[in-house]
Amino acid sequence: MIFAGLPFATLATIFGAAAAVMVGLYILKLRRRVVAVPFSPLWQKILRDKEATSLFSKLKRLLSLLLQLALLALLVLALGDPRAAATLIKGRNVVVLVDASASMQATDVSPNRLAVAKDEVKRLIRGMGGADRMLIAQMDAAITPMGPMSGDTSELERAVDSVKATDARADWPRALRFATDTLRNVDNGEIVVVSDGNLGEATDSSGPVHLGDVKLSYMPVGKAKDNVAITQFSVRRYPLDKSRYEVMLEVKNTSPDPADVELTLLGDGMLVDLTKLRLKPGERLPRFYPNLSGASRTLEAKLAVVGDTKDALPADDHAYALLPERRRAKVLVVSTGDTYLEAALLLDEYLDVTSATPLEYATKYAQKTNTFDTIVFDAATPAELPRTNALYLDPRGPGSPFKIDKELSEPGFDKIDRKHPIVRFTALDQVNIAHGHSFKLEPGDKVIGASEGGGPILVAGTRGGHKMVAMGFDIRESDLPLRVAWPVLLLNTINFFTDEDASYLSSFRTGDVWRIPVGQGPTQATLKLPGGQEQPVPVHEGRAVFLGQRAGFYDLELPATPDQKPGASGADLGAAGNSVHFAANLLDDTESTIAPQEKLTVDGKEAGAVSAFHVGVRREIWIYLLFIAIAITALEWITYHRRITV
Amino acid sequence: MNRREILRRVAFGAVVIAVAAAGLWAYFHYVYYAGPTIAWKRGGKDYELLSPRNLIIAAVGAPFFVWMIGRSLADLPWPQRIISVILRIGFVTLLAFGLARLARTATTQKVCTVFLVDVSESVPDAAIADARAEIQKAIDQRPKDGLIRVITFSARPRVVPMADDATTAPALERHDAIERRERKEKADGKKLGADAATDISSALQLAYGLYPAGYLRRGVIFTDGVQTDGDLLAEANRAREFGVKLYTETYKRPVPGEVALRELRVPDKVRVGEPFELHADIFASRAQKAKATLKQGEAINGLDGVRTLDLKAGENDVTFKSVVRVAGEVTYALDLTDIEEDRFKENNHYTVTAAVPGRPAVLYVEGNTRRASYLASALSAQEFDVDVREPRELPSSLRELERYDFLILSDTPADAVSLTQQDAVESYVRDLGGGFLFAGGENGYGLGGWYHTTIERILPVRMDSEKKKDEPGVAMVLIIDRSGSMTGPKLEMAKAAAKATADTLEGDDMLEVIAFDTSPTKVVKMTSAKYRARIQNDIARIQAGGGTEIFSALDSGYQSLSITRARKKHIILLTDGEAPQGGLRELSQQIAAEGMTLTTVGLGADVDANLLRNMSDLGGGRYYGVSDPSQLPRVFTKETELVSRSAAVEEYFQPRVVAPADFLRGIDMGSSPFLHGYVATKMKPAPAQEILESEIGEPILARWHVGLGWSLAWTSDVKNLWAVEWLKWPGYGQFWGQLVREHMRQKKRQQFDMRAEIDPATGHLKASIDAIGGDDKFENGLDAKFFIKGPQPSQEAKTLDMKQTAPGRYEIDFPLDRYGSFLLHAALSKPVDDGRGGIKMAQVAESYGHVTNPYPREYLALAPDAVTLARAAEITGGKLDPQGFKEVFDPAGQTIVYHMDLWKWFVGAAIALYLLDLLMRRMRLFDRKKTVRPSKAATA
């Protein structure tokens, strides 16, 4: 027996003092009332009784005192909050993994699976043995222990209450690894999984999870299989004609019955398309909406069931996407005149091109380079590094950030890093070049094109925190400008600078770590979640990092920096002013397949049913002590007033 | 026992059962299921009744106590009784409140600090010792009520057992040491390579479970910031939400000597027989030497196998030359050995695998197959599979042609290639992207009658080359049989042939047309060919009728030519029947003697072929036996070409390079031997590109794009006639090899770009394919199968399905639990009609990639990432490298809200109240001296 409340010494003191007072009070002779009794035989009776019962009366007093002392002892003991000493010695150590993934929002059980799961866990807590300890952890895309390993039921119940549903998948191997880490070197470890069982394989990149001696129990939740889900939703601009875009929407019927659904596509909240579909059991139906154009920025897809069709999981019936906004990129061309360059830049209407001679650049623009997104230096090399991204064509001057290694005669693109975004959709192999020069590389530089034996002639790197690309020949001394590859290369480079990549996809996936491009500069940004809450997120290498677990539209507010380009914050997603907008979706097959699994197998072992949690003994002894004390009070009250004790 | 007794016992039993049932009910109702709670706010604090139903005790107790006092026999005055009952009710109420578990939020400033110590492989022992010293410092400085917990982590975290009041820092061990001990292994066991990793976020997650309620949460991370799994920044967000303030401390020990092979890169396209360079990214923490051994497969790489490297401090880009001789999968393994100072051996090895496509197939159609061996063997030596065929074996279906990457049609006359075959060649180039080379010779270009054919249309040169100004024209006489047997299509085709001849001739050429039966008629007198319309009108008027008398007609033609001034004089004689032979041989000889030439065309089976062949032989021309009259125009134009063009230029010359081309690299064209001749052609306008030209500027080699493929014209020949000296030239094979290689069909199928990488946060392989069609359209609805083979050299293969995630994008993401290099391949197919009313899957595109998961990222020897650590600390309100632990333990005005149970206060108060109650009963406070009047009952 140990005391979790007041220490024993204090209890003894309290008891001693209070008992002393009590005994003192009992020693005090109760002054009797003077009662005039006019009938002498009565007196005799009283005196006779008194003599006869004086011993009994003493005994009754003593009994009364003992009752009082017992009551006091109970109360003082309760103050000590006694616990069975076994708590410290032996008992089960249980990690309860409460599945809080999206499928747990299914409403097939009332009010939803997570609420039922939480009730189940509370039942477990109440059924804990005196020596058991438990840790409650929320399992979603991450694993979050809601409190320490504890035997305190109210603390555990509070932990259960703080479990909240997310719109993400469950990272089952991670959760299991956490549980095994927690139970390492602990006796009688047990993992209890409260879930609908759609967790997938317990395997990650380190291989399958091994449980060791830890016991695994499974408490299934949920009953229905009926669900129709949006499993893909995305929008993408066409690579060349960026004014048009295509939407992909995929719906899946995970239930064993056919389903009738109504599919709505909204652009900026306005109806774009409404389709009624009938899905066969288990059918996955992708739909494409090609050649869309217009000013819509936000896209939403909604799914509603029609007729008798049932849909138990509303969380996957709504998907969000944001059309990558096209922003006018400000381009400064510093050249003594190059028709090929100017003509190529005319091809993209979203470029805002300013031309300047090297002299004009020095006098007019050199001090405000940061107002441009990109500067193209055509055979010009200013002494000072521009404070923005720059493309250097044939840089030979002393101010070039890329130093010339050697002169080349008839170089060619013999080696091309085809994965680099600036050479996408180009064929540079056959470009013929009369003269050129190769570059000396600096650490971090990436060779995009190199001539056989001659070295790098197209290089990308970072100088002064800005992206720079250099090409080691005058395009007029090559047939590059006559090829389709030239404008594509140029526009790819500008897109590379502004991060407007053709591969941009319109939404993030919940449960992933998002790296939201925000551009160079800020180290912290404020993220506004779909619910309206705000929280700061760190920015690292131009990307804000966040583990997102909620679906919907997000805003990322960037702090204004003195170096800020007007309207050119990070220049990516839906950048407008100082904020970046993006969307996030669940879109997960496994989560949408809500049919509860009856069995759960990990490491070749099937999880057993939860057992031995039905003892039903509430572990706080003080509560029982107080109940007994109350009962004794009542008893004492009766005995005293009926003069059974005095 | 009487009835009453029995009744009493039964009643007693009933009462006991009732009481027990009530107790049980009460237990489940009040104790086991606490029921809903009641919460409220007051004075900025939250109050909560966790088991409010227990308050009923007070509600039931109060009437009971009052009722009992009414029946009291105790000798107490009423005021005292009333006070006593109030006190007792108060006592029970207090206990009821205790049982109802009133709790309120309270704040505290106690701090619990969890120290997270990186003990991964990348951390030197000295740094771990430093961390322990820091923890000791923290223990010494911690406030009285502060708590300290310690976690060590590498791939997985572990809690280091430590008492709350410990005064010395616990020992910090490397996890592999612990595991070895757990497995009771000896310490000399090998390192746990595969488990080497650092996962800071998992360690943090484990830490969340160590903070007791009511403590401010602090975390101090000792690490080098090299994380291989998880994402510290994303976890820092959650730590912040969880109220954990993080401090990060980087290990400050100097970097020990280390050489790490970070990456070995193979070019995207490696071709058989083509040398290429492998790049190795080698990181060295300080300048030192290392021996590099590169293996291709099992053998040492031939070109560049073993080398001693002088590594400079930092990143080194080392290149190795190699060449692949046999198609298939090639695995390169680079090993670094003999390194003076190196901490990890694990990162000195890297393998990468590339798929080298098989030998390209060339179809070589040669008009003179006996002479095909020169080019065929030269191309074979250049790693091509060459299939030599006769012209009639040229495939006429695309399906057959698809098997080849390049097609050479050399020295073949046009009439040996059917129109279907020509069309197949055109769509092979245009639609399949095949490469096509048309080589000259005696039957090439105009000489072979290729003028105005499909093949001419796809070639970058024209065959109607203009003559040089100073050259005199051609005079030609067509002698056409119009005997009765020619009636009908024969004569019509003969007329068409004559008209075509007029078309083919240049303006300054002369033409005479003689129609003959028993006597010759000059339908067209010797006229300049520029009056084409008139000539053709006259030709149209030829009528059939009469017999066949050749001599007079031929003589008439001969006479006309004799008096005509022209560089070339030529007679074409067309007949379809037998005629008297008298004098014809002699006349033919006469014609040849005058420098004229005579070609004879025999139409149909009735001709005297011997005579006609004889005549043409004597007359220095050719004989054509034509069975189908529709062939006539072709024969005539070919003849005209042959004669009028004098297209074969038989001169010695060295071809000149006009425009640079990739395939000429490494070939010294200046040293190329002389060619002995070529067929004169003329360049088509741009984009046709002239690469080699003759001394008088006529094209020798030209090329242009046709549709997806290349079409090339080589106007000389490729064998021992004009190119006889080239056959001995060392550059011969290389020239043709490189030419074919550059222009051959690049891909059998459409290839889409595959991006594959290992996600650093999860260790998953993420691959995506962008399927974007040539017309800026996304390719949707494809069935994408993903094949992964490896790690090499094991041929273990796995097939997975890729999922379409966006228009034109297919993705896959799965855990890769093996180390080594892997080959990736994706096949994208589309349902098509199988022609029998069903649907079959047809592969439309493919995609290749490779990915290497060389060794645990732990051994990458990454530089400590202080920026990430600083950002992670900042976002939670902490900082990088705090100054001492004062700062860490300082609540800094921060308080933490926790739930304070108040029941103890209620129990305490109840005890006090109880004593008061006792006092109330043991001492008479009222009417102490007053004598009570005798009671009424007594009086009575």
Contact A640 B923 (CB under 8 A): no
pLDDT for A141-167, tens place per residue? Answer: 889 999 888 888 888 888 999 999 999
Sign, CA dihedral B159-B160-B166-B170, equals negative
A37 pLDDT exceeds 70? no
pLDDT for B278-317, tens place per residue? Answer: 888 888 888 888 999 998 887 888 778 898 999 888 788 8
Contact B778 A452 (CB under 8 A): no
> Which residue from A204, A418, A634 is facing B815, i.e. has the nearest CB?
A204
Closest CA to A503 of A236, A164, A297: A236
In chain B, whose CA is at the least distance from the CA of A125?
A: B32
Eight-state DSSP code of residue A614: -
Q: What percentage of chain B reaches a pLDDT higher than 70?
A: 92
Residue B155: per-residue pLDDT: 84
C-alpha distance from residue A393 to each of A387, A540, A607, B193 (Å): 18, 30, 65, 47
- From the CB of residue A56, how many other CB atoms can be counted at a distance below 10 Å? 9
Residue B470: per-residue pLDDT: 44
B341 pLDDT exceeds 50? yes
Asked whether A463 and A401 are in contact (CB, 8 A), the reply is yes
Query: Which chain A residues are within 8 Å of B95, Cβ to Cβ?
Result: 626, 629-630, 633
Query: DSSP of A79-100, one letter per residue?
Result: HT-EE-THHHH---EEEEEEE-
- The whole-angstrom separation of Cα B278 and Cα B302 is 13
Contact A181 B156 (CB under 8 A): yes
The residue type found at B588 is: S
Contact B911 A14 (CB under 8 A): yes
- The whole-angstrom separation of Cα B491 and Cα B499 is 12
pLDDT for A329-354, tens place per residue? Answer: 788 999 888 888 888 888 777 788 88
- The whole-angstrom separation of Cα A41 and Cα A36 is 13
Query: Which chain A residues are within 8 Å of B742, Cβ to Cβ?
Result: 430
A570 pLDDT exceeds 50? no
Contact B934 A37 (CB under 8 A): yes
Residue A254: per-residue pLDDT: 87
pLDDT top residue among B346 and B779: B779
Query: Chain A interface, mutation test: which of B914, B920, B925, B932, most A Cβ atoms within 10 Å?
Result: B914
pTM for the whole structure? 0.65
pLDDT top residue among B30 and B123: B123
Residue A563: per-residue pLDDT: 46
Residue B801: per-residue pLDDT: 92
In chain A, whose CA is at the least distance from the CA of B235?
A: A547
The residue type found at A8 is: F
Would an 8 Å CB–CB cutoff place A435 in contact with chain B?
no
Query: Which chain A residues are within 8 Å of B901, Cβ to Cβ?
Result: 154
Closest CA to B199 of B153, B258, B140, B130: B153
Residue B469: per-residue pLDDT: 44
Sign, CA dihedral B888-B889-B894-B895, equals positive
Residue A89: per-residue pLDDT: 47
In chain B, whose CA is at the least distance from the CA of A236?
A: B807
Phi then psi dihedrals of residue A522, to 5 deg: -65, 150
Give the Cα-Cα-Cα angle B276, B282, B286 (nearest 5 degrees).
145
Contact A148 B209 (CB under 8 A): yes
Query: Chain A interface, mutation test: which of B28, B31, B850, most A Cβ atoms within 10 Å?
Result: B31
pLDDT for B400-423, tens place per residue? Answer: 787 788 999 998 888 888 888 888
Query: Which chain A residues are within 8 Å of B57, Cβ to Cβ?
Result: 630
The percent helix, strand, coil of chain B (3-state, each to 5) is: 35, 30, 35
Phi then psi dihedrals of residue A252, to 5 deg: -140, 135
Contact B764 A443 (CB under 8 A): no
Q: How many CA atoms lie within 13 A of A223 on its CB side?
A: 5
In chain B, whose CA is at the least distance from the CA of A410?
A: B660
Sign, CA dihedral B852-B858-B861-B866, equals positive
Residue A295: per-residue pLDDT: 67
- From the CB of residue B362, how many other CB atoms can be counted at a distance below 10 Å? 26
Contact A622 B903 (CB under 8 A): yes
Token pair recorded at residue B842: 């047809």
Query: Chain B interface, mutation test: which of A414, A547, A556, most B Cβ atoms within 10 Å?
Result: A547
Name the CA radius of gyration of chain A, rounded.
39
Query: DSSP of B29-93, one letter per residue?
Result: IIIIS----EEEEETTEEEEESSGGGGHHHHHHHHHHHHHHHT--S---HHHHHHHHHHHHHHHH
pLDDT for A276-303, tens place per residue? Answer: 989 999 898 999 988 888 766 788 999 9
DSSP H helical ranges for B209-355: 232-241
Mean of pLDDT over chain B: 83
CA dihedral A425, A430, A434, A437 (to 10 degrees): 60
Closest CA to A289 of A266, A319, A318, A315: A266
CA B362 to chain CA centroid, nearest Å: 28
Query: Chain A interface, mutation test: which of B205, B318, B705, most A Cβ atoms within 10 Å?
Result: B205
> Which residue from A18, A288, A506 is facing B780, i.e. has the nearest CB?
A288
Residue B1: per-residue pLDDT: 63
- From the CB of residue B843, how many other CB atoms can be counted at a distance below 10 Å? 15
Mean pLDDT for A76-95 is 74
pLDDT for A500-516, tens place per residue? Answer: 554 456 788 888 888 88
A325 pLDDT band, cuts 50/70/90, is: low
Residue B747: per-residue pLDDT: 59
Contacts of B466 (CB under 8 A, 6+ apart): B506, B682
- The whole-angstrom separation of Cα B29 and Cα B57 is 12
Contact B234 A288 (CB under 8 A): no
Mean pLDDT for B386-402 is 84
Question: Which helix (H) or strand (E) covers residue A379, if one does?
Answer: none
Closest CA to B481 of B651, B367, B636, B603: B603
Mean pLDDT for B733-742 is 88
A201 pLDDT band, cuts 50/70/90, is: confident
A137 pLDDT exceeds 90? yes
pLDDT for B357-378, tens place per residue? Answer: 777 888 999 888 888 888 888 8
Residue B933: per-residue pLDDT: 53
Distance from CA of A180 to the nearest CA of B (A): 10
pLDDT for A405-420, tens place per residue? Answer: 888 888 888 878 776 7
Instruction: Mark B799-818 as b/e (b = at least 16 C-beta within 10 Å).
Output: ebebbbbbbbbbbbbbbbbe
Residue B35: per-residue pLDDT: 67
Query: DSSP of B539-585, one letter per residue?
Result: HHT----S---HHHHHHHHHHHHHTS--SEEEEEEEESS----TTHH
Query: Chain A interface, mutation test: which of B274, B871, B906, most A Cβ atoms within 10 Å?
Result: B871
Lowest mean pLDDT among A51-60, A613-622, B457-466: A613-622
pLDDT for B460-500, tens place per residue? Answer: 988 765 544 444 578 888 898 888 888 888 888 888 888 88
Query: Which chain B residues are within 8 Å of A418, Cβ to Cβ?
Result: 268, 753
The residue type found at B236 is: A
- The whole-angstrom separation of Cα B797 and Cα B12 is 81
Residue B507: per-residue pLDDT: 74
Contact A30 B923 (CB under 8 A): yes
A565 pLDDT band, cuts 50/70/90, is: very low
Question: Which helix (H) or strand (E) covers residue B691, if one does?
Answer: strand B689-693
Mean pLDDT for B621-638 is 84
